[in-house]
Structure 1
Amino acid sequence: MMMLPAACGGPVPTAEERKQDDQQAKLAQIMRVAKTTRDGGDLGSAANMYERAHRMAPNDKAALLELGNTTLAAGDGDRAAAAFGRAVKLAPDNPVALMGLGKALITQRKPIEALPHFLAAAKLLPSDPRPHNGMGVAYDLLGEHEEAQTAYVDGMEKAPGNASLRNNLALSMALGGEFEEALRTLGPAAEAPGAGAKVQLNLALIHGLAGDFNKAAEVASKVLAPAQVRQNLSYYKRLQDLPPKDRAAAVLGIGDSIGQ
């Protein structure tokens, strides 16, 4: 009696299924190469790869989020806002997309437009301090320093050791003319063993905003060479002549102060 060969494997994939599998494999490869390229410092090429990946899978938000983060890192706020904006349309309740769009709008000097996205992200991530940091920066850019400080304090309740929130809170106080409060807020961190350069320079900046250039120079000299100290003092003096909103943008470093 002739024995028939046993059936093996599952159903044979259709031509359309094979095409989809090939596209998914190609998409995954592009995303891997884009990440490697970005990690290597070529942000422009990485962004173009993520854009290509998005065109291959226009309903997949992953490439858009990476495109937004990469172009933000490259300082291209317009392209980042466009990428995160498309991601928010695809996933309105995605907090990463919301915070990314908020940060991109901050870099464009659009704090009013940024605020709703940080507020929405805060509701979705009730224990995450980052949306509160974004809110605080937006309020500071609007000149609403009391609201900004409330946002920073709310964030610090969730993450008491968060250095970015503490720095921004002190800078907000200084922008609002509360120099003694600002120094009390940041001073202990600057005096702690192993305090980094950033906190020292922020403390020097607060002294500079207060017009105490001698003290600013004394603090800055702990981490800077004499020529750099002189440059910073000139910068502090220029800040005095800026309009309040421009001064806030310069002091907070726009999107850099929000963090990741």
Structure 2
Amino acid sequence: MRIDIKAATGLRTVWAVAALSLALSGCAATGGAPQEGDIYGSLNNGGSSVAYGTAFPVGSAEEAYRNGDAALRAGDADRALFEYLRGLRMERRPQADPLYRVGIIHHGRGNHELADTAYRWALDIDPRHPGAGTALGIILIQQRDYEQAEQFLAPIAARREAPWQAHNALGVIADIRTDHAAAQAHYARALETKPRIPLVLNNQGYSRYLAGDLPGARQALRQAVSANPDYDLAWRNLGLVHAREGDYETAIEAVARGGDRAKAYNDIGYISMLEGRYQDAMGFFDEAMRLSPAYYVTASENARSLDQLIRRQGASDIN
């Protein structure tokens, strides 16, 4: 999940879409259980069922589900999908948990409509299924349907053993609503369930940044990149905190972890502009243009927009 930072009109920056993260992503379709016919066939887009059925005979739905779990752990999504659907076909009535696992597979493969169908069908069978309810809530956040998402997520988060993803998702909703105290309470609960999750630490840090707690934001974001040194979003958010504090050298190094120093200079210039440090901002835009001809258009447009902003304000001393 990426949340827009409030941006000045006319400035172009990749940073304007950095911030919060969800554990799942996707867009939703509609409806629950499929209609008549081979109701499970509509959830299959994997490999040959004939080949799998011949090579791996099973005697029960439970055996099929075990095979599916083993295949999923081994990274064979086609085989796992076949086994879960085969097990479901052997049942007298649909079962929520294998349908939820089918949804997980489709989420991972980018089959968002099929994932949505599987999750909703699982909830038709078991309205209290925590995994399916959390996954569907996250999909609804992606659709910006925050009220309906909260209806799925809040009862799950209220349980004693709630999945951390539910609290993380509710924290994202709270931050979107600018209720940062509630958001941080949810992130804390998520970290109690499973400590040192980089995604949650990133969200906790960004929430603290939004609330004006820069030392707290820096602490959480450093924990996020310590837990996952390759977490580019957390590095960018950490750079944003350093830029807000005026520590531009450290900010540049954090944002440039991905290897694109021209982008880092442009983005830090953008943050400097938002802080009213116009002379610093212009210097960063100039450096972005110097470093990368490929980045010249973006940085030059930002510099031109900044010059117009200064002229409109009648600023003779731009710092």
Aligned-partner residue type, residue 23 of structure 1: P
Aligned-partner residue type, residue 201 of structure 1: K
1:51 positional shift: 4.2
1:67 positional shift: 0.5
Q: State whether residues 50 and 67 of structure 1, in contact with CA within 8 Å, keep that contact through their aligned partners in structure 2.
A: yes
Aligned-partner residue type, residue 181 of structure 1: T
* Corresponding residue for residue 222 of structure 2: 153
Does the residue aligned with 2:158 lie in a helix, a strand or coil? Answer: helix
Aligned-partner residue type, residue 158 of structure 2: K
Q: State whether residues 138 and 148 of structure 1, in contact with CA within 8 Å, keep that contact through their aligned partners in structure 2.
A: yes
* Corresponding residue for residue 99 of structure 1: 168
* Corresponding residue for residue 242 of structure 2: 173
* Corresponding residue for residue 23 of structure 1: 94
1:169 positional shift: 0.8
1:48 positional shift: 7.0
1:123 positional shift: 2.4
**Structure 1 residue 207 corresponds to structure 2 residue 269:** yes
Measured in 1, the distance between the counterparts of 2:190 and 2:262 equals 31
Q: How many residues align?
A: 211
**Structure 1 residue 59 corresponds to structure 2 residue 125:** no
The farther-off stretch of 216-225 and 167-176 is 216-225
TM-score (norm 1): 0.64
* Corresponding residue for residue 39 of structure 1: 110
Measured in 2, the distance between the counterparts of 1:232 and 1:35 equals 42
**Structure 1 residue 216 corresponds to structure 2 residue 285:** yes
Does the residue aligned with 2:144 lie in a helix, a strand or coil? Answer: coil
Measured in 1, the distance between the counterparts of 2:235 and 2:167 equals 23
Aligned-partner residue type, residue 251 of structure 2: A
Higher relative contact order (CA 8 A, sep 6+): 2
Q: State whether residues 138 and 149 of structure 2, in contact with CA within 8 Å, keep that contact through their aligned partners in structure 1.
A: yes
Measured in 2, the distance between the counterparts of 1:68 and 1:56 equals 17
Aligned-partner residue type, residue 57 of structure 1: D
Measured in 1, the distance between the counterparts of 2:155 and 2:306 equals 39
Describe the shift of the 1:104–1:235 C-alpha distance in structure 2 as closer, same or farther (beyond 3 A). farther
Q: State whether residues 81 and 105 of structure 1, in contact with CA within 8 Å, keep that contact through their aligned partners in structure 2.
A: no
Describe the shift of the 1:157–1:92 C-alpha distance in structure 2 as closer, same or farther (beyond 3 A). same
1:47 positional shift: 4.7
Q: State whether residues 288 and 299 of structure 2, in contact with CA within 8 Å, keep that contact through their aligned partners in structure 1.
A: no
1:143 positional shift: 1.0
Query: Percent identity, aligned pairs only?
Result: 19
**Structure 1 residue 185 corresponds to structure 2 residue 236:** no
Does the residue aligned with 1:75 lie in a helix, a strand or coil? Answer: coil
- Root-mean-square deviation over aligned CA pairs: 3.7
